[in-house]
Amino acid sequence: MLKSTYFWLFILATLVYIFGLPVTVMDVDSAQYASISREMAETGNYLQVQHRGMDYLDKPPLLFWLNALIFNIFGVHNWSFKLASLLFTMLGAYSTFRLGKLLYNTQTGLLAALLLYTCQAFFLFNNDVRTDTVLTGAVIFSIWQIAEWLHQRKWKWLIGGALGIALAMLAKGPIGLMVPVLAIFAYIIGRKSWKDLYRWQYLVLIGIVVLLLSPMLYGLYQQFDAHPEKTTLMVTPDGLSEEKGVSGVKFYLWTQSFGRITGENVWKNSSGPFFFVHNFLWSYLPWAFLFIFALFTRLRQAFFDLIWAGRTPELLTSMGFLLPFFILSLSSYKLPHYIFVLYPLASILVAWWWNEKVFGKHQQRPWLVMSTIFQLMIALASAILMYFILFRFFPGSPFWLIALASGLCITGLVFILRSSKSRLSIIIGSVIISLSVNLVLNLRFYPEITRYQAGNQVADYLKTQPIDKQQFYFYNTFSYSLGFYLETTVQTIDNPKIREKLTQGQSPVLLAGPNDLPLLEKEFEISVEKTFNTLKVTRLNAQVLFPDSRPDHFEDFHLVRVKGNK
């Protein structure tokens, strides 16, 4: 009965993920990755990543490779862009199950996989797709494989570990090596298996990783290092910067990652040392507070076991989480999704604590009471959020969605209130609450808010108009999603080029920003063909969400036809 419960919860969660596949791709990063992948599929140039015909040096290529391959098979769609991320999410959940089973038992593994699969971070980065989605699945896969090898010494596990590390590094660079190394190091220290620190087989593992990375490194060398005379446009906080003599290999292996700690990387923001703490509290919902309880219990147990018994408990999950967390907190530039890679280890730790300390042979009833209180608070906050989305932010929601979300919310609350009755009751209730929130997000919030995104609005309109794509240009503005949805590279144009087009008898059509009409009217005869009310959908605030105040925050983009000189 227990396994069938897990099965149906995984099926329901997967359906929620599937409902998110058709949601519009969001600017800025996700749409940029989609655009690069589309261009790679079109050109077939996999070794030298380019965007809009220019060299691209910011992220490793694995996400682009996967998406380009899928685009070539299934075509360019919202769902096909997100498919690789969903598959790696499933790989991450399965690897978490296997690692939890290896470290503890099947029940812990199943619960850990469910916690990971239903946390807010995973639902989020399957919509706003980042390289971290692939990174997380590959990292936990590599940790599971190497842990299996430490137990069984079979070559297939070591090769699998090398494959996982290589995929993780191809997804997001050296962090794909750092997290597995720190986690496995903590595991070996906890087991006191000192010989496992210097096994000769690690040389083979390193060799396989280097071999798998070699196509990317070769492509980077040929594209950048072999051409020191080349001028490369580098993305900086102040926009694009022209630089000569850029080393693609050094940028990948050092500058983009460790350079953020040493200060060599130009990217900096005002995030403090506790930036990831408060971001963890929302992104690992509904399990964030359970993790805090579990981590406190694990560290307390480790301290007393070491003092009184001279032994240490399993450290892979606790120190494998904390060590990278502290290192990432030293970075000069932080974004919330940087720590999502650690959530599989957090999930195993929570699952152990739940099965051992809440409902296990060493159960402590205060933990159950505290867990019930916090999960009820999260459930009530989730219900309020759904109310605002369905009735205040976007009134007129379909009755079936209101009824479904309400029914799920009530069911979740009932299960949480019955938390003392069964081991899984509070978990089932919290999962149902999480699924109901993300169902509303995928079927109502995201589809409605992305209607205000400039790129897809303009692309949908242009597809209905007899406008030559080759005569359409950006003017003092830019949108990654527009190029993706038009399935073409939209060039940027300035005034001298406009005059040149006019002398050739052409009448270019421009997408102009909110403040550009006066500039164009001074020099050209123009007609505004359509104005688009837009919002930056990944940078929302409360006033934007309410219909009455939303128009006050619109950025008006204009589709302008230039007819002649003044």
Among 81, 101, 27, 73, which residue's Cα sits nearest to residue 538? Answer: 27
Confidence of residue 249 (pLDDT cuts 50, 70, 90): confident
Calpha distance 516→310 (Å, rounded): 71
Which structure tokens are listed for 384?
A: 């309020």
pLDDT at 332: 77
Calpha distance 441→437 (Å, rounded): 6
Other Cβ atoms closer than 10 A to 471: 14
Other Cβ atoms closer than 10 A to 282: 12
Tell me, what amino acid is at 428? I
Tell me, what amino acid is at 294? A
| pLDDT tens, position by position, 423-472 | 789 999 999 999 999 999 999 999 999 999 999 999 999 998 888 888 89
Among 468, 258, 426, 235, which residue's Cα sits nearest to residue 434? Answer: 426
pLDDT at 303: 82
Distances (CA, A) of 429 to 110, 386, 400: 16, 16, 21
Q: Which residues pair with 565 in a beta bridge?
A: 524
Calpha distance 295→225 (Å, rounded): 45
Give phi and psi for 243, each to the nearest 5. Answer: -135, 145
Calpha distance 406→413 (Å, rounded): 11
Span of 211-220, 250-259, 333-342 with lowest mean pLDDT: 250-259
Which structure tokens are listed for 44?
A: 């077939």
Query: Please, is 217 exposed, middle or buried when counting C-beta atoms within 10 Å of its C-beta (0-12, 13-18, 19+)?
Result: middle
Task: Tell me whether strands 231-236 and 54-55 are parallel, antiparallel or unpaired.
Answer: unpaired
Which structure tokens are listed for 523?
A: 């020099």
Name the average pLDDT for the chain. 90
pLDDT at 423: 77
Confidence of residue 362 (pLDDT cuts 50, 70, 90): low
Confidence of residue 273 (pLDDT cuts 50, 70, 90): confident
Calpha distance 294→318 (Å, rounded): 9
Task: Tell me whether strands 509-512 and 472-475 are parallel, antiparallel or unpaired.
Answer: parallel
Which structure tokens are listed for 101?
A: 């089973």
pLDDT at 408: 94
CB–CB of 59/33 below 8 Å?
A: yes
Calpha distance 427→115 (Å, rounded): 8
Confidence of residue 237 (pLDDT cuts 50, 70, 90): low
What's the average model confidence in pLDDT over 471-484? Answer: 89
| pLDDT tens, position by position, 159-185 | 999 999 999 999 999 999 999 999 999
| pLDDT tens, position by position, 1-28 | 477 899 999 999 999 999 999 999 998 8
Residue 447 CA neighbour count, 13 Å, CB half: 12
pLDDT of 361 strictly over 80: no
Calpha distance 250→217 (Å, rounded): 10
CB–CB of 465/448 below 8 Å?
A: no
Confidence of residue 478 (pLDDT cuts 50, 70, 90): confident
User: Coil, helix or strand for 261?
Assistant: helix
Omega prior to 350 cis, within 30 of 0: no
pLDDT at 471: 87
